[in-house]
Each structure stands twice: as structure tokens, then as C-alpha cells.
Chain A
Amino acid sequence: AQTVTQSQPEMSVQEAETVTLSCTYDTSESDYYLFWYKQPPSRQMILVIRQEAYKQQNATENRFSVNFQKAAKSFSLKISDSQLGDAAMYFCAYRSINRGSQGNLIFGKGTKLSVKP
């Protein structure tokens, strides 16, 4: 079974600075998807970025980028030029390519990010 580990329960960053959130996972599969979701206090889960395992190039979305290390099973999220609106709980998630998984997302426990003005 796959597992996702986020080792940082809480992180803090100064506005305009850069922060990196860690995520590691365990799987025996060779192809899968990885996601970072953001959940602000307003509750709605918002997709931040996704990475296909077969792609070597790291995904980027504006100020958000990932460092995907497939061999190390590591998938960290870097937020550049942090803004107050980035404050939220961030979840790393794994999605199996296995049809039997029926699209089940396996979440890490989350990292609560605070942004200081």
C-alpha cells in the first residue's frame, strides 16, 4: 500500500520570502500522479500543482514549483515570494495509476503554513 509522509506539521515564512514544504511517499508503482492541495481556513481544497511521475521535468505554476526526486520518492513544494494569502494547510497527495484504486487520493497529514507580514 502506498503511504505519504509530511514531516513538518507547521511551517512559518516571512512575507515575500521563499519556503519549501517536504513530502515523501512510498510506492512500488512506477507510474502515478502527485499533487499538492491547499486548504485555507475557508475550508475549500484547492489544487496547487500536479506532477506526473513519468515526467522528469519539475512542474511549475507561477510562484509554486516542485522538486520531484523519483528515485528518492520525494516531492517538495517551493513557494516563492510568499503572500499572506498563501497561509493555509497544505496536503501532499498520491494517486495510483492502478484502475482498481478508482482514483483514490492518498493524503499526507498536512503542513500548516503561516505567513508573517
Chain B
Amino acid sequence: DTEVTQTPKHLVMGMTNKKSLKCEQHMGHRAMYWYKQKAKKPPELMFVYSYEKLSINESVPSRFSPECPNSSLLNLHLHALQPEDSALYLCASSRGTGLYEQYFGPGTRLTVT
């Protein structure tokens, strides 16, 4: 099973809302990632979790709050977002943060109104 799942597929939220994105993998991977992807652009790394600990935060605004409750699950909590935060949010996982390929989920298309 090389599947990374993400829910929801689509999310529309107002600037005052609080919502969460969910990512799950059951491949036994110990590294998980959040990426943000704008249209026709490559993914941009936001956060890296290694062994359930945050190891990289790429200067992401505090209105994005990641959480890794266990080795299979990764959440991204959203609060007070701006319209420019509208994008495709991709989750990925890999065996570790070494030279392993990353497996991506299908993404959540987020629209902030």
C-alpha cells in the first residue's frame, strides 16, 4: 500500500473560520510533509515532521498550525486565513528524511473567501 490520503478534497472557508486538513498514511513512514502549491507552480515546502516532531518550518505564518498526533496522521489547522492562502495543499510521506522518495497525497483544494 503506497497510498497517502487527504481529506477533504475541497474546502471553502471564510477568513474568520477555523478548519483543519487531514493527511494519513499507513506505510510505516516516519517523515511527513506539508506543501503549498499555487496554480501552474511547483510545490513549496511548508513543514516537515520527522518521528512525529517538527523538524522544519519554512517561515510559514502562524495562521497555519501543523500537528502530528501519531506516526500515521498529520493535520494542518487553519485560522484567520487570507485570500492569497487559496491553493492546493499537498501532503507527502517518506520512510525517513534521508534519501527516500516522497509519496504524495491527492491534495486539498482550499479556497479562502
Are B42 and A102 touching (Cβ within 8 A)?
A: no
Are A104 and B56 touching (Cβ within 8 A)?
A: yes
Residue numbers in A under 8 Å from B50 (CB-CB): 102-103
Are B88 and A52 touching (Cβ within 8 A)?
A: no
Q: What 1/0 flags go to B83-109 for Cβ under 8 Å of A?
A: 000001010101011111111111101
Chain A CB within 8 A of B31 CB: yes
Are A102 and B99 touching (Cβ within 8 A)?
A: no
Report Cα–Cα, A89/B37, bound state, in Å.
13
Interface size class of chain B, counting residues whose CB lies under 8 Å from the partner chain: 20 to 34
Check A45/B43 contact, CB under 8 A, given A102-B56, A103-B33, A104-B48: yes
Q: Which of A33, A43, A103, A109 makes the CB contact (< 8 A) with B88?
A: A43
The interface of chain B, by Cβ under 8 A from chain A, is 31, 33, 40-43, 45, 48, 50, 55-56, 88, 90, 92, 94, 96-107, 109
The contact sample of 23 A-B pairs, CB cut-off 8 A, is A33-B101, A43-B88, A44-B105, A44-B106, A44-B107, A45-B43, A45-B90, A45-B104, A47-B101, A47-B102, A52-B99, A91-B42, A91-B43, A97-B98, A97-B99, A99-B97, A101-B97, A102-B50, A104-B56, A105-B102, A107-B43, A109-B41, A110-B40
The interface of chain A, by Cβ under 8 A from chain B, is 32-33, 35, 37, 42-47, 50, 52, 89, 91, 95, 97, 99, 101-105, 107-110, 112
